[in-house]
Amino acid sequence: MPVNLILLYVSDFIDPHRVRIHDRRFQHMRSVHQAQVGERFRVGVLNGMTGEGEVVAISERQVELNVRLNQAPPKPLPLQLIMALPRPKMLKRTLETVATLGVKDLWLINSYRVDKSYWSTPILRPEKAREHLLLGLEQAGDTRLPRIHLRKRFKPFVEDELPALARNTRALVAHPYDAQPCPAPTSEPTTLAIGPEGGFIAYEVEKLREAGLEAIHLGPRILRVETAVPVLLSRLFPLEL
Amino acid sequence: MPVNLILLYVSDFIDPHRVRIHDRRFQHMRSVHQAQVGERFRVGVLNGMTGEGEVVAISERQVELNVRLNQAPPKPLPLQLIMALPRPKMLKRTLETVATLGVKDLWLINSYRVDKSYWSTPILRPEKAREHLLLGLEQAGDTRLPRIHLRKRFKPFVEDELPALARNTRALVAHPYDAQPCPAPTSEPTTLAIGPEGGFIAYEVEKLREAGLEAIHLGPRILRVETAVPVLLSRLFPLEL
């Protein structure tokens, strides 16, 4: 797989314009790209600027790059994304996809159709989740790490937190029944809730509506969560974002 | 996982309004849904109408449903989708996703960045590919099986077939560089080419342009193929499709 961006951490810098890398990123540059002295790669500092890095030294154990960081990363989506916790296999891909698409705030919440066991997956451990988010950022060429908020109880979240999150935003829940068509793309701040496989149950949709969310549908086809996410974000936001 | 639609085959019918099922579909209805006599399921005949089936008998080995087929399946996308053959793991998901999204004609073509080994994956065997397409249809609630066209040589396809396919359609190739922004949704007949991970090479983009395709981009982020497909189709076609 290509690396569209090599993410750099503050700890990689050995002086203000030079980094030294010796982990997974180095392995990848070496084995996949057969990086050579003089070659250039797109780089970006985690939560910072992007630019170009030129290989100035490479050994069996590490690579050194001179870096010039002069470009802002892509704009974040003005979105608060709320998702019923997907099953582990899908969670991995979901974390990568939301990071790739520019989501910066993701709430993973409980729902009647979320199996309790999903909450004990190692993928939810901060360091594991972060790995998948970083892969998504590298894919997109982005540097800004999304924040994940875990809410293991549906009702307290929807009653006590969600109304304030949703206020003054375009607040939506994707739901195939008794819903309006998905609205046109705009850049306005948006709160979007996406249910589990099989959807939110009627009680949950009712609670989400009470919190200020309007139900929207995506047309006659029922989509898997991992397909629904890119479809919804493409329909809700303009191309520039 | 829920079954949004149970696909029926002509061979399932034991009289014009009754089917008998004893394969994977029966297992799923029994173990996942604990189907009971009197329960109703959405059903659809492969390449035909959809409707409702009521369980009238169930045993350890099979289930019988009375079916009423009175609804057309969702409309097909007016799209000829051309994709560089993805690696096997992604191919599976791609077949399911394109079937779910309503693609009916998929060309899988060679490209410089398609590893030769990908062409020998068992997933390309017609019966295997069909399985994944059927899963995608069941997910969407659709019945019309997509056609897959394999083209193992890039140049003959692009020179001899593509110009005729592209003629009188909105003909596009997704390409991040030197490209127009993705156009607005319309229902017009469309031909869309999507490259491999890492993209088509310059020579290939040039050949695709000569065949009448215009390069379009999806904004500042670089997407994986499996994310690019739903994003492109959502941007190119209106919600009703």
pLDDT at A60 over 70: yes
Contact B13, B148 (CB under 8 A): no
Helix (H, G, I), strand (E, B) or coil at B102: coil
d(CA A173, CA A200) in angstroms, rounded, equals: 10
Q: In terms of residues, how long is chain A?
A: 241
pLDDT at A228 over 90: yes
Ramachandran bin of B30, using left for φ above 0, alpha for ψ from -120 to 50, beta for the remaining angles: alpha
Which residues does chain A have within 8 Å of residue B220's beta carbon, measured at their own beta carbons?
A: 74-75, 141, 240
Tell which residue, B214, B124, B231, has the closest CA to residue A238: B231
Quote the Cα angle for B23-B28-B31, to 5°: 120
DSSP B57: E
Residue B2 pLDDT grade (very low, low, confident, very high; cuts 50, 70, 90)? low
Lowest mean pLDDT, pick from A77-86, B114-123, B129-138, B176-185: B176-185
Residue B169 near chain A (CB below 8 Å):
no
pLDDT at B238 over 60: yes
Residue A80 near chain B (CB below 8 Å):
no
Residue A105 pLDDT grade (very low, low, confident, very high; cuts 50, 70, 90)? very high
d(CA A197, CA A229) in angstroms, rounded, equals: 12
Which residues does chain A have within 8 Å of residue B140's beta carbon, measured at their own beta carbons?
A: 221-223
What mean pLDDT comes out for the span A22-42?
90
Residues 6+ away with beta carbon under 8 Å from B112: B154, B200, B201, B203, B204
CA-to-CA separations, A39 to A67, B33, B177, in angstroms, rounded? 12, 56, 20
CB contact under 8 A, A141 and B222: yes
Residue A141 near chain B (CB below 8 Å):
yes
What mean pLDDT comes out for the span A24-51?
92
Tell me the domains of chain B and their CATH numbers.
6-71 (2.40.240.20), 79-236 (3.40.1280.10)
List pLDDT tens digits, range A81-90: 999 999 999 9
For B61, phi and psi rounded to 5 degrees?
-115, -20
pLDDT at B3 over 80: no
Residues 6+ away with beta carbon under 8 Å from A155: A207
Quote ipTM for the complex.
0.93
Minimum Cα–Cα distance from A72: chain B residue:
B220
pLDDT at B1 over 60: no
Structure tokens given for A137: 């950022």
What mean pLDDT comes out for the span A209-229?
95
What mean pLDDT comes out for the span B69-94?
97
pLDDT at A147 over 60: yes
d(CA A8, CA A48) in angstroms, rounded, equals: 9
Mean pLDDT for all residues in chain A: 95
List pLDDT tens digits, range A160-207: 999 999 999 999 999 988 899 999 999 999 999 999 988 999 999 999
CB contact under 8 A, A142 and B74: no
- What pLDDT, on a 0 to 100 scale, did the predictor assign at position A2? 59
Within 13 Å and on the Cβ side, how many CA atoms surround B11? 2
Distance from CA of A144 to the nearest CA of B (A): 13
List pLDDT tens digits, range B194-203: 999 889 999 9
Contact A197, A227 (CB under 8 A): no
What mean pLDDT comes out for the span B14-18?
96
DSSP B185: P
Minimum Cα–Cα distance from B181: chain A residue:
A239
For a pLDDT cut of 70, what percent of chain A falls above it? 99
